[in-house]
Amino acid sequence: MKPNASKHNPSPEYLRGLIERAGLSQREAARRIGITDRSLRYYLSEDAASWKPAPYVVQFAIEHL
């Protein structure tokens, strides 16, 4: 699979689903893709005040777990 930023979907629901399908905890997913737990929590947050859209590179890495 080649990176294709036109498929960028930073929604927390999409990213959470990818992590669940991989059978990993959020902490383990963060460790495997090389980001902090805190950063991943921001990307997966349901709270609009603390949510930050995940960069495409994070989405791509999670898709390959």
Global pTM reads 0.90
Residue 3 lies in a domain: no
Q: Pick the residue with more confidence: 50 or 39?
A: 39
Over residues 14-48, the pLDDT tens digits come to 999 999 999 999 999 999 999 999 999 999 998 98
User: Considering its fold, how many domains does the chain have in total?
Assistant: 1
Find the CATH number of the domain harbouring 41: 1.10.260
The whole-angstrom separation of Cα 32 and Cα 50 is 23
Residue numbers of the domain that contains 14: 9-63
Amino acid 25: pLDDT: 97
Q: Which alpha helices (DSSP H) does 1-65 contain, by range?
A: 12-22, 26-33, 37-44, 56-63
Would you say how long the chain is, in residues?
A: 65
